[in-house]
Every structure is written in C-alpha cells, then in structure tokens.
Chains A and B, each alone.
Chain A
Amino acid sequence: MKSIIYVEPSEGKVDPNVKKIVARLRKIPAERRGLIKGITLSHNFKNREEELRELFDELVAVEVPEEYLYNTEVMANLLTDLLEADSPALLFLVFSHLGMELAPTAGMRLGVPTVTGCTDFNIEDGTAEVRRLVYGSKLTISLSVDISRGGVFSIQRGSLKETGAAGTAGAVREASLSALPWDKKWAARKSKVLGLVAEEGGIPEQEDITKAPLLVSVGRGVGGPDNIPLIRTLTDCLKGTLSCSRPVVDNNWLPHHHQVGTSGKTVSPTIYLALGISGQGNHVAGMDTSRIIIAVNKDPGAPIFKIAHYGVVDDLFQIVPELIKQTEVGS
C-alpha cells in the first residue's frame, strides 16, 4: 500500500494544503500508510524541484503536452492509470475545482471507496477514519472507510492544521524522481480545451482586493442590491476595500473582481471584516490567512465564528449604521 498525492499545477510555491496532507501522513506509522509518493506534471516540476523532492519518498513528474495542461479528462486518464499500477493505493487530492472533479472520477474508475471534502483523516489497520462537513458546514460526519482495496480522498482546504511538511524533526529526504514520458493512451477523446478565457480587464486599483490592508466583505446576509450602498458607505468611512462572497456576485449585486474564495481571489489582508457571510469552505479557503478576521453574523452557530478572531452576533443592519455613525463622529 502506498499513499499517493496528486500535486496540482500551481503558480508560485507548492500548495500548502499538499504539504499539510504529507505532514499528516508522516504522523501515521509507515506500516499503515506505506511510502508517500507525489505525482505531478513535469511542467509543474520546474522551479519547484527542491521543494517537491523534500516532501515525498517517491516522485513522478509526468510529461504532458501543452494542449492538455488544462484538460481534466487527460488528468483523470493518467491518474487512474498510474494508480492502477500501484494498486492497492490511497490517493489524496486537495478539494479544489480539479480535485472535486478528479476524486469521484478516479474513485469510480478504480472501483474503490471515495470520500470527498475530508476535514480530517487517520489510517488504522485496514480502515481510514475520516471526517467531513455536511449541511452548509454546520455539522460534521465521521466515516469508517474500508481501504483494503485502496481509496480516494479529497481534503478540504485549510482544514488540516499540521505545520511543517517533514513531520519527523530534522529528517532530510530526497525523493527518487521518475520522469514519465507522455503516453498516447492518456489523450483526450471526449473533450478539447480551446484555452483559458481572457480575464476581465481594467479593475481600478482601489478595488484590487488582493492588495488592500482592510477588506469590508459582504455576504448573502446583505439581503439585496439596495443595501450595497450602505456597505459602500461603511467601506469609504473606514478607508477600506469592498469584497464579497459568491452569492453576491451570482446575483449581480457586485462584479466578479470583488469575489473572495476558491473561484474568486485569495486574499490575506490585515483585517477582514465579514458581514453576513456564513463561512463555508469555498469562501474560507480564500481568506483564512487574513491576520485578523472580524465576523458579524446574526446566527451564533455560523461556521465563520470557528475561524474568526473576533465575533459579533447581531444583525448587520444594526451594526453597520452604528459603525458609520461612530466613524463620522470620530473623524
């Protein structure tokens, strides 16, 4: 049995979630989780060689033609093929857009148990003990997974709290690297990626949410477009920048460049003031590294309070006008 991690192509450094998965695995005795193997694309390997080699016991960098770099059908083909060669194995992915698509596809092709969006896992003898969130992240369910024939697990971003990927203090690791040439059998048969869609241009600098020290961020709790001006007034009073959760964009209350989260921007401001945002995984993944998170939500059970540093249980329509009033008086 091996534990195999798919390292998604990413800009900059290796995704910290991948490192946390490795760190968690290293805490589990080797006889239960086997060697830790990384699979990545050779295009992703360049400039990250050292970082990746230190992380894994074995590393495979697969050569993929340029035209297929964004093709998820190809990724599913090669991943299941490589998994079959190592069967029985445990496959771990990050619960990203790609991970959401690949985990069930790979699991079903291999016919092995598949659990997505895991927030915690441990490997026992013959089983994996797993937790995942349900019902808008308000509840958690624990599962016992029979891994005798392998398994596929995708891990919710930001959920593992491990620090440092090496796990064992002072261990110096140098993974053996296999460069795997492209194999035509992985080619796409049902899909063709024409390219990336050009990004919307011309975002005013004062609206760039990735650079702002203070984000005033609004969620569905704002109720409708008529209430956005109130939040804009607060943002101006505080000399902050306006950001939001996905439903605000879906409903056309604010344009997409304000969106924080897995399908929006990742932000890390000094202060993130969350107004009427529940705090579900796909939002939190984009802001949980903010230095200070202040959440205003009328539901005391809202998941945002689990990650916030300061919490206010109240109606935002009580708090926001009061914040504006006190700022105006104070200035």
Chain B
Amino acid sequence: MRVAVCCKAVATDVTADSVSVVDGDLRCNVGELYINEFDEYALEAAMALKKTYSAETFAVTVGSLRSQEALYMALAKGIDNVARINGDTSHPELVAGALISFLKEIGPQIILVGVQSEDWMGSEVGPYIAEGLGASLGFAVVEITELNDSQVRVKKEIGGGDKTDVILTLPAVLCVQSGIHQLQYVSALRRRKVRDLPVKMWGKLEDIALPDNIKGIMNYRMKEVAAPEGESQAVMIPGDKSEKAKAILEILKKNLSAG
C-alpha cells in the first residue's frame, strides 16, 4: 500500500504590501513559510495509515527551495520519502497538473491533500488531481475507518454538522479536513535533524506537459491583489480595558433587555 501526501508551504503573516501580482501570478515576499495547516493534518492521516497498514508514505510539494519547509515537517513526523517539484506558482491548476504527473509515476492507492490552502483558499487541488488520475474523491474527510486492497471507507463532512459514511474505490484522493487526528508535537531537535536529509527534486514545473483540460481551466488572468474593499462597518470602541469592558456590557444590557 502506497500513500502520498500533497503538501504546501504557505506564508501566513501577509499584508497588502507583501503580496503582488507579477507576470500574472501572485508573488509573496514574506520570508518564512510554514506547512499549510490542513496539509499537516493530511500528514497525520498518512502516519496513521503507515502505523495501521504498514503503508509506504510519500510527501510531495510544488514550490521553490523555501517550500521545502513542508517536506521537513513531513520527514520530522516520520514520512518515508519526500520530493519537491521545482517552481513557484499560486495557480492551483499548475500545481495540480505537476502533482498528477508525479503521482502517475509513483502510483499510490491513497492520495491525501489538505482540504484547503491557507493562502489561495480555493479547495481545488484535490478534486483536480482526482479528475486527472480518474480516481475516486472524498472531500472534507474527517475519519478513515477501513482500508483494503480495493476500497477505503471514510466519514466525510457534508456541511451543517452532518457527515456521510462513504466507500470509495482505490485509487482514492482524500481531501483531509482539520481535526482528523490530533497534531503530534515535533521537537525542535527532530526538526533540525531532518534538515540534513536529502530532498529529491523530481522535476521542474516548466518542463511538465500539462493535459488540455488543465490548460482549459486556467483560462483566466490574475489582475491585482489588495486589501478587501469597503471600510469596516464596526464602531471601534476606544479607551483602556476598563472603558472597553464597560462599553461592551452597556451594549449587552441595552440589547438583551430590549429582547
């Protein structure tokens, strides 16, 4: 059984000044990148499959050298193999296209993807990969309950607090929801140690031939990035902590007693 995790390193502390559109793509000049939170949960799910089913685990990212942070986290958690596809893009279609090529080569039965990235916030990469591989798709998976050579059984959210119990044929792409397992603490020493391990560069984004439907879905142009339009509607409460608390209690009193 092979399990692959697609993970991404993201910048979290951005402002309108640190992000811009350059040559039709988002460029972010924030120094430090962290593993996308939903992908960290996907890594935990992979580790659980490794323990229960002795699965061989792979983690792959598409990004520049800086994005290897995501792979170091994967190694520190105990993932067996890591690979990076070199290239810097925020286009989810390009990322998915590159991942599809990689995944075709290693042929995993289970592909785990975080349900959303904290930067692009689009939730597209998992479904694109499933389509590109002709695999089954489980979106917002909160539990993997059974796995055998031909099927996986999962619980997935469908919104409003509801979940369905679903059987998917393999290969399956599972878009992992946060909270699927508790995030395991990884010590700073362990994280430092894995930085000495080699990270394989699998290929370059610009060399990968994209399928036609990937080119079709990309038929848009990024124009401009900015702070969201429209001023905040909120009345900002000034003062020291005592004045702020007093003002909050007055709002409560006035509106709750009025019913």
Report which of A130, A249, A250, A330 forms a contact with B249, defined as CB distance below 8 A: A330
Report which of A192, A214, A301 forms a contact with B252, defined as CB distance below 8 A: A214
Task: Indicate if the CB atoms of B26 and A194 lie closer than 8 Å.
Answer: no
- With an 8 A cutoff between CB atoms, is B158 at the interface? yes
Task: Indicate if the CB atoms of A109 and B131 lie closer than 8 Å.
Answer: yes
Smallest beta-carbon distance A127→chain B, Å: 9
Task: Indicate if the CB atoms of B161 and A308 lie closer than 8 Å.
Answer: no
Report which of A111, A117, A191, A250 forms a contact with B136, defined as CB distance below 8 A: A191
Task: Indicate if the CB atoms of B19 and A135 lie closer than 8 Å.
Answer: yes
Task: Indicate if the CB atoms of A70 and B164 lie closer than 8 Å.
Answer: yes
* Chain B interface, number of residues (Cβ within 8 angstroms): 87
Task: Indicate if the CB atoms of B234 and A97 lie closer than 8 Å.
Answer: no
Closest to B41 in A: A250
CB contacts under 8 Å to B, within A162-215, are: 189-197, 199, 213-214
CB-defined contacts of B249 to chain A, threshold 8 Å: 323, 326-327, 330
Smallest beta-carbon distance A154→chain B, Å: 9
Smallest beta-carbon distance B19→chain A, Å: 6
* Chain A interface, number of residues (Cβ within 8 angstroms): 94
- With an 8 A cutoff between CB atoms, is B221 at the interface? yes
Task: Indicate if the CB atoms of B139 and A146 lie closer than 8 Å.
Answer: no
Report which of B175, B219, B230 forms a contact with A149, defined as CB distance below 8 A: B219
CB-defined contacts of B137 to chain A, threshold 8 Å: 72-73, 101, 105, 190-191
- With an 8 A cutoff between CB atoms, is A98 at the interface? yes
Q: A111-B212, A214-B256 are in contact. Are A145 and B168 (CB under 8 A)?
A: no
CB-defined contacts of B14 to chain A, threshold 8 Å: 135, 138-139
Pick from A17-25, A34-42, A288-296 the stretch touching chain B.
A288-296
CB-defined contacts of B215 to chain A, threshold 8 Å: 111
Report the Cα distance A327→B138, complex, angstroms: 48
Task: Indicate if the CB atoms of B132 and A310 lie closer than 8 Å.
Answer: no
- With an 8 A cutoff between CB atoms, is B214 at the interface? yes
CB-defined contacts of B119 to chain A, threshold 8 Å: 134-135
Chain A CB count within 10 A is highest, among B132, B159, B166, B248, for: B159
Q: A residues near B, CB below 8 A?
A: 70, 72-73, 96-98, 100-101, 103-105, 107-117, 130, 132-146, 149, 189-197, 199, 213-214, 238, 246-247, 249-252, 256, 259, 262-266, 270-271, 273, 281, 291-292, 294-296, 301, 303, 305-314, 318-319, 322-323, 325-327, 330
Complex A-B: 28 CB contacts under 8 Å: A73-B136, A73-B137, A100-B115, A111-B212, A114-B124, A133-B121, A135-B118, A139-B16, A140-B225, A140-B226, A191-B166, A196-B163, A196-B164, A197-B165, A199-B162, A265-B161, A270-B259, A281-B121, A291-B255, A294-B251, A308-B233, A308-B234, A310-B247, A311-B232, A314-B241, A322-B241, A322-B244, A323-B245
Q: A113-B218, A137-B121, A142-B222 are in contact. List 13 more A-B contacts (CB 8 A).
A: A70-B158, A104-B127, A110-B216, A111-B217, A114-B124, A130-B220, A135-B118, A143-B220, A143-B222, A189-B169, A271-B252, A271-B255, A307-B233
